[in-house]
Amino acid sequence: MSIQLMSPQLLTVVVIAANVLGGAMAIPQARKLLRSRRVEGVSPTWAAVSAAVNAAWIPYGFATGDVGIVPVSVVSVLAYLSIAAGICRYGHLPVGAAVARMLTSAAAVLVVPAVVLVVEGWVAAGVTLGVFYGVQLTPAVVTVYRTVDVSGVSLATWVIAFVEAALWGIYGLGRGDAGLLSLAASGMFMATLVLVRLAARRPRRDRTYDGSVEGAYDGLGLSPA
């Protein structure tokens, strides 16, 4: 059931904002990785699963009439594929092994929503996808907590992730969309975990790995541009 006090105009503003932030979420990470060629703290499984889950939201949006989630899903798929490509190029694993791992992870995470869709329909599949947004972010959370050097992780990406999830929660509340509400809850929780980890780490006092000003920003998880 939608909340009647939430006007269509307000919902339109919220969904536009959510699309803008959602589309921008992975871009800082992709830009940081491709410019710095540093993959420390960036999970290849996260990139692959994120591309797969975002791709699954596209047919969901058309099937349920919540087409507001389609544009951000398309942009996100492209951004996560860019991150995956950067990991393959600059990572420590052989390209073949990295691609195989990412494809396996992407396929595995889509099995459950696909089964739920066949058995229960689109609404239940949407709730499952929302919960799987947390699964999508889990590899990234695990990686930042297991890795000592997380200088390759973009702070901006995770701030955007938190705000975007909150906006989808508002939109889902107004639309009465249980799938988007579950997405919001899991997304805000997982983004908070990453932000806590990034805030807790002590910035490096040295200039950088290459002695540049840009590296000094990287030590804080930021980018000068």
Burial class from Cβ neighbours inside 10 Å (0-12, 13-18, 19+) for residue 223 reads: middle
In a domain, 3, yes or no: no
- Work out the pLDDT band at 195, boundaries 50, 70, 90: very high
In a domain, 208, yes or no: no
> What's the rounded Cα separation, in Å, for the pair 205 and 78?
35
Q: Is the pLDDT of residue 98 over 70?
A: yes
Task: Give me the chain's average pLDDT, please.
Answer: 78
DSSP secondary structure letter of residue 4: T
Position 93 scores a pLDDT of 79
Position 47 scores a pLDDT of 86
> What's the rounded Cα separation, in Å, for the pair 114 and 61?
15
Position 6 scores a pLDDT of 66
Mean pLDDT value of segment 115-143: 83
Count: domains in the chain: 1
In a domain, 45, yes or no: yes
Mean pLDDT value of segment 106-117: 86
Q: Is the pLDDT of residue 2 over 70?
A: no
C-alpha of 174 from chain center: 23
In a domain, 207, yes or no: no
**Percent residues over pLDDT 70 in the chain:** 86
Q: Name which of 123, 145, 130 is nearest 193 in CA terms.
A: 145
**Percent residues over pLDDT 90 in the chain:** 5
Instruction: Assign 60 to helix, strand or coil.
Output: helix
What pLDDT, in 10s, does the model give residues 17-62? Answer: 877 887 777 788 888 888 888 877 777 888 888 888 889 889 988 9
In a domain, 128, yes or no: yes
Q: Is the pTM of this model over 0.75?
A: no
Position 191 scores a pLDDT of 92
> What's the rounded Cα separation, in Å, for the pair 107 and 91?
21
In a domain, 223, yes or no: no
b/e map 134-166, b = 16+ CB within 10 Å: bbbbbbbbebbeebeebbbbbbbbbbbbbbbbb
- Work out the pLDDT band at 193, boundaries 50, 70, 90: very high
Mean pLDDT value of segment 95-112: 86
In a domain, 205, yes or no: no
Instruction: Assign 93 to helix, strand or coil.
Output: coil
Our separate counts of H helices and E strands in the chain read 9, 0
Structure tokens belonging to residue 23: 């589309």
In a domain, 29, yes or no: yes
DSSP secondary structure letter of residue 168: H
Range of the domain at 183: 8-199
What pLDDT, in 10s, does the model give residues 70-96? Answer: 888 898 898 889 888 888 888 877 888
Q: Is the pLDDT of residue 207 over 70?
A: no
Mean pLDDT value of segment 114-118: 88
> What's the rounded Cα separation, in Å, for the pair 69 and 120?
21
